[in-house]
Amino acid sequence: MRRYRKVDFPVAEVRRFLEPGPVVLVSSAWKDQRDIMTLGWHMVLEFTPSRLATMISSGNHSAGLIRRSGECVINVPTADLLDTVVGIGNTCGDEIDKFAHFGLDAVAGSVVAAPLIAQCHASFECRLVDRSQIRRHGLFIWEVVKAHVARSPKLPRTVHYRGDGQFMVSGDEVSRRRLFNPEML
Amino acid sequence: MRRYRKVDFPVAEVRRFLEPGPVVLVSSAWKDQRDIMTLGWHMVLEFTPSRLATMISSGNHSAGLIRRSGECVINVPTADLLDTVVGIGNTCGDEIDKFAHFGLDAVAGSVVAAPLIAQCHASFECRLVDRSQIRRHGLFIWEVVKAHVARSPKLPRTVHYRGDGQFMVSGDEVSRRRLFNPEML
């Protein structure tokens, strides 16, 4: 699996990678434990500060590490990692160390203690800013405090879950800039 | 523009259309006003009851109709409607009637007063179930109370926004059912 060397990326522009709706890998750490979970339920909330929401079920092993640490890293995998993405989503982190089991490398972040995944082309360090909806809706509200993105590929092929074991892979890119009011861009 | 004849669809399975992250058209009505907005910031929250979240800025004309009525319809457009999708996102509903201006047909829903868009292949009638995060995060939490989906296409080509006037169009479909634990499907 390819390891990506990543560079700093503006946090206000992480929508470019997340708004199309790819499956992401959420990494977390608390004391001597670490974990990765596969997640499809996320959304952009704001540009500046850069805010996201995720729905994470309390039954997930990662949920405990995330709640306790108040941190996570949202990593975006490409289509060549699909079997790993599915494997992570179908195993439990209280039984295995998912980094070791799936041959993924943990890279230290610059702001949070949760590790980045070297085999993902984009990794966003996040800090939990609102816990008030966790119990009611499983909703975690995050600020992206640091973003790391590989210089290439510019438009990575991502995977998008439909449920029932079926995925859509990202297709063509099209521009409609000419139809936008400048202030809407 | 093709009009779709839609049939009932299980509300617990609307993730099939929404989880991959397509841009949607949100239709709403209040008294003698109606509107449509283009929206990319949404997520699935739960299957049963079928729950979604959307981020809708208070500055949007639709936001007022949606807040007052407590209802909306989330319609999923296909790639052939892209120019209309961009047009709707770059005009303001207090100046024009977007149905008339963009040649879209409003079809009565069966549960909510907000109209379905005939030119979208899937339309989900939604009722607002939690207003508590609107002021703080622009977050509307919905229950899908009725879903209408065309029998074909089975896997419509959808558009996914990246910001800056750029869209990703949905690509290939792949299955990894064989790698899933049955209870995870």
C-alpha B176/C-alpha B165 separation (Å) is 32
Tell if the CB–CB gap between A170 and B160 is shorter than 8 Å. Answer: yes
**Does some domain include residue A133?**
yes
pLDDT tens figures, B103-113 = 999 999 999 99
Tell if the CB–CB gap between B168 and A171 is shorter than 8 Å. Answer: yes
C-alpha B175/C-alpha A83 separation (Å) is 11
Question: CB of B94 within 8 Å of any CB in chain A?
Answer: no
**Does some domain include residue A1?**
no
**Does some domain include residue A38?**
yes
**Does some domain include residue B157?**
yes
**Does some domain include residue A74?**
yes
CB B43 within 8 A of CB B137: no
Cα–Cα–Cα angle for A151, A154, A157, nearest 5°?
125
Closest CA to B16 of B88, B76, B84, B105: B76
In angstroms, the separation between the Cα of residue B165 and the nearest Cα of chain A is 4
Which of A11, A129, A140, A174 should one mutate to test binding to chain B, selecting the residue with the greatest count of B CBs within 10 A? A174
Give the B window 9-48 contacts with A, CB below 8 Å: 13, 15-16, 19-22, 40-46
Which of A179, A181, A183, A185 should one mutate to test binding to chain B, selecting the residue with the greatest count of B CBs within 10 A? A179
CATH code of B167's domain: 2.30.110.10
What share of chain A has pLDDT > 70, as a percent? 100
In angstroms, the separation between the Cα of residue A26 and the nearest Cα of chain B is 16
Mean pLDDT of A82-89: 98
Q: What band does A185 get if pLDDT is binned at 50, 70 and 90?
A: confident
pLDDT at residue number B185: 86
For residue A140, report the phi and psi dihedrals to the nearest 5 degrees.
-105, 130
C-alpha B85/C-alpha A82 separation (Å) is 31
C-alpha A37/C-alpha A91 separation (Å) is 9
Tell if the CB–CB gap between A53 and B51 is shorter than 8 Å. Answer: no
Answering whether pTM is above 0.90, one says: yes
C-alpha B8/C-alpha B151 separation (Å) is 10
**Does some domain include residue B1?**
no
ipTM: 0.96
Give the A:B interface size as CB pairs under 8 Å: 184
| Option in B44, B159, B165 nearest A180 (CB) | B165
**Does some domain include residue A156?**
yes
**Does some domain include residue A127?**
yes
Residue numbers in chain B where pLDDT is lower than 50: none
Closest CA to B26 of B66, B58, B59: B66
pLDDT at A73 over 90: yes
Mean pLDDT of A23-27: 98
What share of chain A has pLDDT > 90, as a percent? 97
CB A88 within 8 A of CB A98: yes
Tell if the CB–CB gap between B160 and A55 is shorter than 8 Å. Answer: no
| Option in B53, B137, B176 nearest A167 (CB) | B176
Question: CB of B137 within 8 Å of any CB in chain A?
Answer: yes
Closest CA to B17 of B121, B117, B114: B121
Domain that holds residue B91: 6-184
pLDDT tens figures, A98-153 = 999 999 999 999 999 999 999 999 999 999 999 999 999 999 999 999 999 999 99
Structural domains of chain B, count: 1
Give the A window 149-178 contacts with B, CB below 8 Å: 155, 157, 159-178
